[in-house]
């Protein structure tokens, strides 16, 4: 198997595990500067029982023994769940609030000196930057609604079951929301849920899904399958799927393929247009750092976004399967709303839906300007670099995390990394399967010491160095606390077993 070059080749163990090594890596990496764009909570902030930042005089904590480090930055490795807040978000949001306060409804329409674009045009303002992150044409993306809602909207357009082709293929450990969404689509179309095919790992001891295995399951059910919906990066294992190859395979079998990019967007470079993906959706609160539950995004390939008039000779070749309500326009069917309708006639209130060509024509409601503002703040940081440069940094950070996890003093670690070892098959995140019974002990210990990672019961910790703000120094500090937590957890559980 072809491997990416190992950025840590030739480094001795002693060197690798030293504080100096981590500090030097941060100093020599030009992208380290982006960390200053983010608010890194201090350990005191996390321990503070009141909301907001901790101030020494005001706050009482619970555990005096470990609170002399309240002013230190926490070790936040949880961008796979919720990205940290960019410093500029507060400024952008304040500008939005000031506009609303001072202009009211005119904020929708008026261009204001030093302000953001009128809210009416915010959806367009975000397209260029978003398209660069997912590798699309600006017309193929739109920031709208939220991830699960967008998957439903996209399936309402792309899942067109027939008597012969009605199955949906997902992976067995799909994020529950995707599972529910797909199952409810089947029910919605009066199709038994047995039409759902799940791709299960070949081995019960590993969540790994080889590309060959994925392709073979798809081939096996191709004759009766209408839709394949897969994650770009699997949320539990952190495995990055071969989006290009799987998409090509589905298309060769005439199967529509959609991608849930929750864990891939802002994490790995994507080329949705060139890879010929039919559709995709994502959220903006993980590696996109735009805030909890914030507005999401979607992609519809150019070939599906056309809007033609019925007498246009090109219309019959467009591949768009049906026409609009008045029979004069030909476009992909969809569940529609007024924000997807042509801007020039949107306010005429004539009940004629004229879809905007491209992804924008899939919009329903006027988007939350507050959410869009928050996404804009984050995109402006991404615009100072690009996904290829971030990926290079991410490969170095994750390789370093992996190398440190694999060095556990003289003993065998009480955990194993279940994310693929090949960097081509993973993004930033490594998932650690702890030996049974250790997770709660380990989590309590590390959380008390200002480490933030996330858990997947019963035994998995997900650790994700986000390339925009995490540092080698974060990883070094994480390893010191985490491995000590493991040693203590093993000792405690052994003691308990001995005294039982």
Q: Which stretch binds ligand PLP (CB under 6 A): 61-69, 259-267, 321-329, 449-457?
A: 259-267
148 binds ligand PLP (CB under 6 A): yes
Rounded to whole angstroms, how far apart are CA atoms 172 and 124? 37
Asked if residue 175 binds ligand PLP (CB under 6 A), the reply is yes
Q: Give the burial string for 231-252 (b: 16+ CB within 10 Å, else e).
A: bbbbbbbbbbbbbeebbebbee
| Closer to ligand PLP by Cβ: residue 148 or 157 | 148
Under the criterion CB under 6 A, does residue 419 sit at the interface with ligand PLP?
no
First and final CA of the chain: distance in angstroms? Answer: 48
Q: Which of 126, 154, 207 has the alpha carbon at shortest distance from 429?
A: 207
> Contact between 264 and ligand PLP (CB under 6 A)?
no
Nearest distance from C-beta of residue 480 to ligand PLP, angstroms = 29
Beta-ladder partners of 461: 432, 455
Does 176 count as an annotated binding residue?
A: yes
* x-marked contacts with ligand PLP along 6-45 as a string, rule CB under 6 A: ----------------------------------------
Closest residue to ligand PLP in the complex (CB): 148
Can you tell me which of 260, 278, 308, 474 binds ligand PLP, judged by CB under 6 A? 260
Q: Does 441 belong to an annotated binding site?
A: no
- Provide the sign of the torsion angle of the four alpha carbons 154, 158, 162, 164, taken in this order: negative
Residues 364-383 as x/- pattern, contact with ligand PLP by CB under 6 A: --------------------
Say if CB 424 and CB 460 are below 8 A apart: no
Taking the C-alpha atoms of residue 303 and residue 276, their distance in angstroms, rounded to an integer, is: 9
CB 136 within 8 A of CB 272: yes
- Minimal distance, residue 283 CB to ligand PLP, in Å: 4
Under the binding rule (CB under 6 A), the answer on residue 177 touching ligand PLP is yes
Residues near 371 by Cβ (< 8 Å), separated by ≥ 6? 290, 291, 294, 295
Closest of 297, 312, 305 to residue 355, by C-alpha: 305
Closer by beta carbon to ligand PLP, 146 or else 225 = 146
**Minimum distance of ligand PLP from residue 294's CB (angstroms):** 9
Q: Total residues contacting ligand PLP (rule CB under 6 A)?
A: 12
Our CB check for ligand PLP shows the closer of 233 and 479 to be 233
User: What strands lie across the sheet with 329-331, from one edge to the other?
Assistant: 307-309, 329-331, 322-323
The conformational region for residue 10 under phi > 0 = left, psi -120 to 50 = alpha, else beta, is left
Region of 288 on the Ramachandran plot (φ > 0 left; ψ -120 to 50 alpha; else beta): alpha
d(Cα 162, Cα 285) in Å, to the nearest integer?
Answer: 36
Among 86, 161, 231, 297, binds ligand PLP (CB under 6 A): 231
Query: 10 Å Cβ neighbour count for 50?
Result: 10
Both structure tokens of 373? 């503002």
Q: Which is nearer to ligand PLP, 234 or 320 (CB)?
A: 234
Q: Which is nearer to ligand PLP, 283 or 330 (CB)?
A: 283
| Cβ closest to ligand PLP, residue 263 vs residue 334 | 263
Q: How far is the CB of 182 from ligand PLP (least distance, A)?
A: 11
Which residue shows structure tokens 């991608």? 259
Q: Which is nearer to ligand PLP, 209 or 307 (CB)?
A: 209
Which of 358, 297, 357, 262 minimizes the C-alpha distance to 145? 297
177 annotated as ligand-binding: yes
Smallest distance, Å, CB 264 to ligand PLP? 9
Binding region for ligand PLP (CB under 6 A) out of 131-139, 258-266, 317-325, 448-456 = 258-266
E strands in 127-255: 141-144, 167-171, 196-199, 225-231
Least CB distance to ligand PLP at residue 363 (A): 17
Site for ligand PLP in 278-317 (CB under 6 A): 283
Residue 456 Cα distances to 178, 268, 291, 399, angstroms: 17, 22, 22, 22
With beta carbons less than 8 A apart as the criterion, state whether 159 and 227 touch.
Answer: yes
Q: Confirm or deny that 178 is annotated as ligand binding.
A: yes
235-254: contacts with ligand PLP (CB under 6 A): 235
- 285 annotated as ligand-binding: yes
Tell me how far, at minimum, the Cβ of 373 lies from ligand PLP, in Å: 18
Rounded distance, CA 468 to CA 393, Å? 9
Q: From 339, 296, 305, select the one nearest 120 (Cα to Cα).
A: 339
Binding-site residues for pyridoxal 5'-phosphate: 147-148, 175-178, 260, 263, 285, 338, 366
Binding-site residues: 147-148, 175-178, 260, 263, 285, 338, 366
Binding interface with ligand PLP (CB under 6 A): 146-148, 175, 177-178, 231, 235, 260, 262-263, 283
């Amino acid at each position: 198997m072809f491997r990416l070059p190992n950025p840590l080749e030739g480094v001795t163990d002693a060197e690798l595990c030293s504080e100096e090594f981590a500090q030097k890596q941060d100093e020599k990496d030009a992208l380290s500067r982006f960390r200053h764009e983010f608010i890194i909570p201090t350990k005191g902030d996390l321990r503070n029982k009141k909301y907001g930042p901790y101030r020494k005089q005001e706050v009482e904590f619970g555990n005096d023994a470990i609170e002399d480090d309240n002013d230190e930055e926490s070790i936040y490795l949880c961008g796979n769940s919720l990205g940290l807040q960019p410093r500029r978000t507060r400024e952008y949001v304040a500008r939005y609030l000031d506009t609303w306060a001072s202009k009211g409804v005119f904020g929708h329409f008026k261009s204001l000196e030093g302000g953001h674009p009128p809210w009416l045009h915010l959806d367009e303002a975000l397209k260029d930057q978003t398209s660069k992150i997912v590798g699309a044409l600006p017309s193929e993306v739109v920031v709208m609604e939220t991830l699960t809602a967008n998957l439903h909207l996209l399936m309402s357009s792309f899942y067109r079951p027939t008597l012969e082709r009605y199955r949906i293929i997902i992976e067995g450990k799909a994020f529950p929301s995707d599972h529910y969404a797909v199952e409810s689509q089947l029910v919605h179309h009066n199709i038994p849920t047995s039409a759902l095919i799940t791709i299960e790992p070949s081995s019960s001891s590993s969540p790994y899904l080889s590309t060959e295995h994925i392709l073979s399951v798809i081939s096996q059910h191709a004759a009766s399958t209408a839709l394949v919906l897969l994650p770009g990066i699997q949320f539990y294992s952190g495995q990055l799927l071969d989006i290009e190859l799987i998409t090509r395979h589905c298309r060769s079998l005439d199967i529509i393929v959609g991608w849930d990019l929750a864990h891939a967007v802002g994490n790995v470079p994507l080329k949705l247009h060139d890879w010929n993906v039919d559709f995709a959706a994502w959220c903006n609160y993980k590696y996109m750092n735009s805030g909890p539950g914030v507005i999401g995004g979607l992609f519809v390939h150019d070939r599906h976004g056309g809007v033609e008039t019925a007498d246009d000779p090109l219309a019959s070749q467009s591949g768009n399967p049906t026409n609009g309500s008045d029979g004069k326009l030909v476009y992909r069917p969809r569940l529609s709303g007024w924000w997807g309708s042509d801007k020039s006639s949107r306010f005429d209130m004539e009940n004629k839906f004229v879809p905007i060509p491209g992804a924008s024509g899939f919009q329903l409601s006027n988007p939350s300007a507050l959410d869009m503002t928050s996404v804009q703040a984050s995109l402006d940081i991404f615009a100072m670099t690009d996904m290829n440069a971030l990926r290079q940094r991410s490969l170095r950070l994750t390789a370093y995390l992996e190398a440190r996890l694999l060095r556990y003093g003289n003993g065998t670690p009480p955990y194993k990394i279940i994310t693929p070892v090949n960097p081509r098959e993973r993004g930033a995140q490594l998932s650690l399967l702890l030996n049974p019974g250790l997770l709660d002990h380990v989590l309590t210990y590390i959380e008390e010491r200002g480490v933030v990672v996330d858990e997947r019961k019963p035994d998995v910790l997900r650790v994700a160095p986000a390339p925009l703000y995490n540092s080698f120094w974060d990883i070094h500090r994480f390893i010191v606390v985490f491995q000590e937590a493991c040693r203590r957890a093993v000792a405690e559980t052994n003691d308990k077993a001995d005294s039982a």
